[in-house]
């Protein structure tokens, strides 16, 4: 699965980074960087948690 970001909707709340620090991070300007865009196995559950926790629904998982 692929992690997709709706960039204009992202406001940098950073909850996804807390849920999945190995998959994504906020850079020095507070912009979200998806470090591991394609996920499977145990990473998929972590990615799902990050998608779920976004308070403005800016993240989603799509078929790779």
Partner 1 sequence: VTAPIESDIDIWDDAILIDPYPTYAALREQAAVVHLPKNDLYVLTRYDAIRDALGDPESFSSTSIGFNPMVNEALQGTSLASDPPVHTQLRAVLSQNLTPRALRGLKVTIDEKADKLVGELADSGSFEAIDSLARAFPIEIVADLIGFKGHVKDNMLRWGQAAMQVIGPLNQRTQESFPIAGELYGWCSSVTAEDLTPGSIGRGIFDAETRGEIPEGAAGHIIHQYLGAGVDTTIASIGNIVALFGRHAEQFDLVRANPELVPAAFAEVLRYWAPVHIWGRKATRDVEIDGVTIPAGAQVGILFGAGNRDPRHYENPDTFDVARNPVDHLSFGYGPHGCAGQGLAKLEAHAVIEALARRVQTLTVGDEVREPSNITRSIEKLQVEKVVAA
Q: Are 5 and 51 in contact (CB under 8 A)?
A: no
* Contact status: 8 vs partner 1 (CB under 8 A): yes
Q: Is 17 among the residues that bind partner 1 (CB under 8 A)?
A: no
Binding-site string for partner 1 from residue 41 to residue 60, where x marks contact by CB under 8 A and - marks none: -----------xx-xxx---
H or E element, residue 3: strand 2-5
**30 three-class SS:** coil
Task: Verify binding: residue 7, partner 1, rule CB under 8 A.
Answer: no
Tokens describing residue 24: 């994504």
- Give the interface with partner 1 as residue ranges (CB under 8 A): 8-9, 11-15, 18, 26, 29-31, 52-53, 55-57
């Amino acid at each position: 699965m692929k992690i997709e970001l709706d960039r204009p909707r992202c406001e940098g709340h950073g909850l996804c980074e807390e849920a999945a620090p190995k998959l994504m991070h906020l850079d020095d300007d507070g912009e979200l960087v998806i470090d591991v865009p394609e996920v499977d196995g145990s990473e998929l559950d972590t990615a799902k948690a990050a998608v779920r926790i976004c308070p403005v629904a800016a993240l989603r998982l799509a078929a790779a």
